[in-house]
């Protein structure tokens, strides 16, 4: 993944049914951009500037907190934006088979991921990852992610659910369960399927 700050893959209002445009604009243009700016500042004129983002994250536990937190924040939001679309997306047949084999059904996976997001104390992300060829649900605190050496469970992120309050507070206030319930309506299973195939 490049160090370039990417465009949002849709309009701020594209996910309005679940996430309001103002939240999307602040989240992308202030929060995500700040992680990117601060990450670039933290690696500037250091040997890390010549590494890939994935390489840096894989050794996050050995880097300064500014690199771990902002590099994670930069990466995590790219996965988050690319985990959502304006509805109507389904898992590929390969991913659907893997989900059924591991969790029993798509509903059961969603329930497990919902619990992971609900029980992440404070701020963080819930994830569907591929670990040793198998699907696993996990969560990370703050801006950590499963690519990091310091993550409790490591693997390739397929789907990332942001449960920081900045992701939902304007419309949902303190009601994280309501945000997560609505979030499922805009999950882009086609993009998740692409990462499943590529990882």
Token pair of 68 as six digits: 């771990």
CB of 195: closest distance to Mn ion in angstroms? Answer: 19
Token pair of 168 as six digits: 């939902």
Contact window for Mn ion (CB under 5 A) among 107-115, 120-128, 131-139, 162-170: 162-170
Compute how many other C-beta atoms are within 10 angstroms of the C-beta atom of residue 12: 18
CB of 71: closest distance to Mn ion in angstroms? Answer: 14
Contact window for Mn ion (CB under 5 A) among 97-105, 128-136, 139-147, 156-164: 156-164
Token pair of 190 as six digits: 């086609």
Residue 164 is a binding residue for Mn ion (CB under 5 A): yes
Contact window for Mn ion (CB under 5 A) among 88-96, 137-145, 164-172, 190-198: 164-172
Q: How far, in Å, are 20, 59, 186 from residue 110 at the CA level?
A: 22, 30, 13
CB of 75: closest distance to Mn ion in angstroms? Answer: 12
The residue behind tokens 């994250």 is: 57
Of 18, 148, 162, 168, the one binding Mn ion (CB under 5 A) is: 162
Rounded to whole angstroms, the Cα distance separating 105 from 40 reads: 41
Token pair of 58 as six digits: 């894989």
- Interface with Mn ion: number of residues (CB under 5 A): 2
Rounded to whole angstroms, the Cα distance separating 45 from 66 reads: 14
Write out the residues near Mn ion by the rule CB under 5 A: 162, 164
């Amino acid at each position: 993944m490049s160090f370039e700050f990417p465009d949002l893959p849709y309009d701020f209002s594209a996910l309005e049914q679940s996430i309001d445009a103002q939240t999307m604009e602040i989240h992308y243009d202030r929060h995500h951009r700040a992680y990117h700016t601060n990450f670039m500042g933290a690696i500037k004129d250091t040997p890390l500037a010549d590494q890939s983002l994935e390489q840096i994250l894989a050794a996050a536990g050995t880097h300064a907190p500014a690199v771990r937190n902002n590099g994670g924040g930069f990466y995590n939001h790219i996965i988050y934006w690319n985990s959502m679309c304006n509805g109507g997306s389904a898992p590929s047949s390969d991913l659907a088979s893997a989900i059924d084999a591991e969790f029993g059904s798509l509903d059961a996976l969603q329930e497990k991921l919902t619990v992971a997001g609900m029980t992440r104390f404070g701020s963080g992300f819930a994830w569907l990852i591929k670990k040793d060829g198998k699907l696993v649900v996990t969560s990370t605190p703050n801006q950590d992610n499963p690519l990091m050496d310091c993550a409790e469970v490591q693997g390739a992120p397929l789907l990332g659910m942001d449960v920081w309050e900045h992701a939902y507070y304007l419309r949902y206030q303190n009601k994280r369960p309501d945000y997560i319930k609505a979030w499922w309506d805009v999950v882009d299973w086609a993009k998740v399927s692409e990462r499943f195939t590529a990882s």
